[in-house]
Chains A and B, each alone.
Chain A
Amino acid sequence: MLIYNRKHADLWTLLAPPAIWAIHFLVCYAAAAIACAKAEDIFAGLGGLRILILVVTLLALALIAVAGLQARRHWGFGTDDPPYEQPTADVRQHFLGYATLLLCALSFVSVVFVALPALTIADCR
């Protein structure tokens, strides 16, 4: 699996966390747009949609956390400090792992920010 048991870091493991964020954003946005386009009464509650957003958000956060654990392993658990400028396979792994870990943190916060409006906005107004 791309975010769990890859032996080596590469471009795909680096891109996985932002891709999870992008998919989460797309699902939330499209689901809310479809639900509100179909709603006859703008005051009617969106309980089902908010539960869907909650589930999708928890799933995305869990996947990003798993990707973060793998990135930490690729990074060498912080044994090697930046800058990673030596042209060796190990240093390249540490660089990719570190960059992926930072992207995991960014994607985690972004997913939380995307989901926050569902906490307070309960209908289509």
Chain B
Amino acid sequence: MRNLKWHLTLIALLLSCGAACAQGIAVKIGVMNDQSSIYADLSGLGGVEAARMAIEDFGGKVLGQPIQLISADMQNKADVAANIANKWYDNENVDVIVDVPNSAAALAIQEIARQKKKLVLFSTAATSELTGNKCSPYGAHWTYDTYALAAGTARALIQSGALKWYFITADYAFGHQLQSDTTKFIKAAGGTVVGSALAPFPTQDFSSFLLSAEGSSADVVALANAGGDTINAIKQAREFNFNKSGKRLAALLMFISDVHSLGLKAAQGTILTTGFYWNLNDATRAWSKRFYARRHAMPTMTQAGVYSAVLHYLQAVKASGTKEPLTVMKKMREMPIHDFFAANGRLRPDGRMVHDMYLVQVKSPAESKGPWDYYKILHTIPADQAFRPMKDGGCPLVSH
């Protein structure tokens, strides 16, 4: 009989612990990205690791209770992403979703977060719509967007005297948008577009487009494409000895993971804009070495962005003493962002996090001193010039 009593007490204890444990999570962070498809190197498991590092650096606890991290591979499928996001917000009490590549998936999750009144912090997503027409009080766009990359590259190159431009554009909405955006900056800065070629999407053979670009009077040949197209175009430009023609090759959407897979021999001389480079200063080097020890790869800008976003979110939760989404978001906007990723960042009311961007040139194999030593910094684009001005985005939250 005594035995039975003991057992009952034990069971009661276990049950109460179970209930307490269920309540005992202060904040639940869900990292959703592509871990098995085309964006796996750009973010993927490295992004999850970056979020984990942010939580560890913060101390693992907020509001006196532990922080929980979960992650999912959305396989670069928008429907899978939407399903997971719905389930996370509704059934698993996830407070904030981080990262999210693929613009269709990102825009879908922006809407889901708005409906469910929960937060989402984008890092890998590129579309500037997230802080334009589709902006949301629950969403923040952390690392970069298509506008910042195109504007950064165009303005800086024109300032350096490259006035005549030729476009090789992927023939679909994204490519056209990138070309028309960039053309606006070129014209505003006093440059001209001397020609353009529309390449089907996707293209394996860029030779005819590259030859007509080489025959033009342009100073800069801009690649208004992304991913595999950019890589193919750069490889073939290298085979045509494009860099000897005196024309500069500018990639409007390219990442350090692309450079890594291309190799310096093929990629050398390409000009691009990035939001982060691991070898910028002592702070970035220190963090990146820690990251390297875990992932055996240097961080991309989107992975560093995930760290920065998660850390800033946790600081805001701590400062506001609650995890109520709008209160936390308000705090996130009030507090400046000071970390290795963004020395002087701030979150605007339209959800855009503005920070310095960098115009870089890919080093030649001779200039590179070791593995992952890929970029020469040409120019730092200050935060207030790097991103689209709030009034031009058409975000309904700030228009009145």
Tell me whether A and B are bound partners.
no
